[in-house]
């Protein structure tokens, strides 16, 4: 089986990172209009966008960025469909886009596998795909023209390096995102390789949501009484863990340290308040880059196979001014 598992390697991706990073940093990740903005009218590019859900603060910010950028003013006619984190809903939306004869399909796959049939149908319909955020693992040859998102494995590595340097006696519970999603698979791979499996007392999925993160943490507190650190694959599950730790009569950020990924406002506030200990950013505000990619793909121009959205990381020295200045 020839897998098209997305991997971020090579100079091309690096060069794309630098270009994109400068753009994102200079605009603060904002949604400025793309340089070659379109004048609208009947030459709009019709785009079917299948968003995986509304499960977290990150996803809300990502959807806001997509809707702020994929506008008629920017030359896009957007058909946006939310799948409530169900793959069958995404597959139905993708098939509807084929029936509608859209010019371009963009989607963020809730999990990596299970897309072979519909990706082949899209290919047979000769509709180009711009992959957004999450990654796919498929047997279909050349299933998408370009992918824009974060380097999830690096995010896990960055989180692991902080733990190794700052909590050498860590007994870690790993609160994982949606099992089988590219973000969960790659963050786990990057983190575990750094901290060492022998320092991980247990793992469970909180499906990237606050409520399921709290429930998984409540069970973990019973199962792993010697745990002293939680690595949560996103802020929302980390915020749920705070509730569970507090309900158990322990102090989050002290009795049990918390390391998370995303960098949404609520997460950074928890960091400043001492309840989180380290937060690796995963910037969701890249709608303008998606528009640029769609236009280039539609016009048959060259685009890099991968464009990495540049991330930062934050510790408890973060200031209120920094938090207040952020876009999400």
Is residue 211 helix, strand or coil?
A: helix
Q: Which is nearer to ligand GZL, 45 or 150 (CB)?
A: 150
Q: Which is nearer to ligand GZL, 38 or 181 (CB)?
A: 181
Residue 244 beta carbon to ligand GZL: minimum distance, rounded to whole angstroms? 18
- Closest by CA to 233, choosing from 265, 194, 279, 201, is 279
Q: Which is nearer to ligand GZL, 134 or 298 (CB)?
A: 134
Residue 158 beta carbon to ligand GZL: minimum distance, rounded to whole angstroms? 13
Place of tokens 């960091």: 271
Place of tokens 């102090």: 251
Is residue 17 helix, strand or coil?
A: helix
H or E segment and range at residue 148:
strand 146-149
Maximum Cα–Cα distance for the chain, whole Å? 63
Q: Do residues 280 and 160 make contact, with C-beta atoms less than 8 angstroms apart?
A: no
Residue 266 beta carbon to ligand GZL: minimum distance, rounded to whole angstroms? 11
Q: Which is nearer to ligand GZL, 122 or 232 (CB)?
A: 232
User: Tokens at residue 290, please?
Assistant: 């998606």
Q: Where are the beta strands (DSSP E) in 23-133?
A: 45-51, 76-82, 104-107, 129-132
Place of tokens 């968003």: 51
Q: Which is nearer to ligand GZL, 233 or 275 (CB)?
A: 233
- Which residues bind to ligand GZL, rule: CB under 6 A? 55-56, 58-59, 133-134, 149-150, 183, 208, 234, 236, 261-262, 282
Q: Which is nearer to ligand GZL, 31 or 236 (CB)?
A: 236
CA 113 – CA 192 distance, rounded (Å): 22
Residue 181 beta carbon to ligand GZL: minimum distance, rounded to whole angstroms? 7
Residue 319 beta carbon to ligand GZL: minimum distance, rounded to whole angstroms? 24
Residue 43 beta carbon to ligand GZL: minimum distance, rounded to whole angstroms? 32
Q: Is 41 left (phi over 0), alpha (psi -120 to 50) or beta?
A: left
């Amino acid at each position: 089986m020839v897998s098209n598992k997305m991997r971020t390697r090579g100079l091309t991706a690096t060069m794309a990172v630098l270009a994109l990073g400068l753009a994102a940093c200079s605009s603060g990740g904002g949604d400025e209009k793309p340089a070659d903005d379109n004048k609208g009218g009947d030459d709009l590019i019709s785009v079917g966008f299948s968003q995986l859900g509304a499960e977290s603060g990150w996803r809300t910010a990502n959807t806001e960025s997509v809707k702020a950028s994929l506008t008629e003013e920017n030359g896009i006619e957007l058909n946006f469909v939310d799948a409530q984190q169900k793959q069958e809903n995404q597959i139905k939306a993708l098939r509807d886009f084929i029936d509608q004869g859209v010019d371009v399909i963009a989607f963020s796959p809730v999990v990596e596998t299970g897309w072979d049939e519909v990706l082949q149908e899209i290919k047979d319909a000769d509709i180009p795909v711009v992959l957004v955020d999450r990654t796919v693992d498929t047997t279909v040859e050349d299933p998408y023209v370009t992918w824009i998102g974060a380097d999830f494995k690096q995010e896990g590595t960055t989180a692991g390096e902080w733990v190794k340097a700052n909590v050498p006696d860590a007994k870690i519970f790993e609160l994982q995102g949606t099992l089988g999603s590219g973000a969960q698979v790659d963050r786990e791979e990057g983190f575990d390789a750094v901290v060492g499996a022998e320092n991980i007392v247990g793992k469970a999925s909180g499906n990237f949501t606050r409520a399921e993160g709290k429930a998984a943490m409540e069970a973990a507190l019973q199962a792993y009484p010697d745990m002293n650190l939680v690595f949560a694959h996103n802020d929302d599950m980390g915020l749920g863990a705070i509730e569970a730790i507090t309900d158990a009569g322990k102090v989050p950020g002290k009795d049990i340290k918390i390391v998370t990924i995303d960098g949404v406002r609520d997460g950074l506030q928890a960091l400043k308040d001492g309840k989180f200990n380290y937060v690796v950013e995963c910037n969701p505000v890249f709608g303008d880059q998606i528009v640029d990619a769609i236009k280039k793909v539609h016009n048959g121009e060259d685009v890099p196979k991968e464009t990495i959205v540049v991330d930062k990381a934050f510790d408890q020295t973060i200031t209120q001014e920094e938090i207040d200045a952020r876009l999400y």
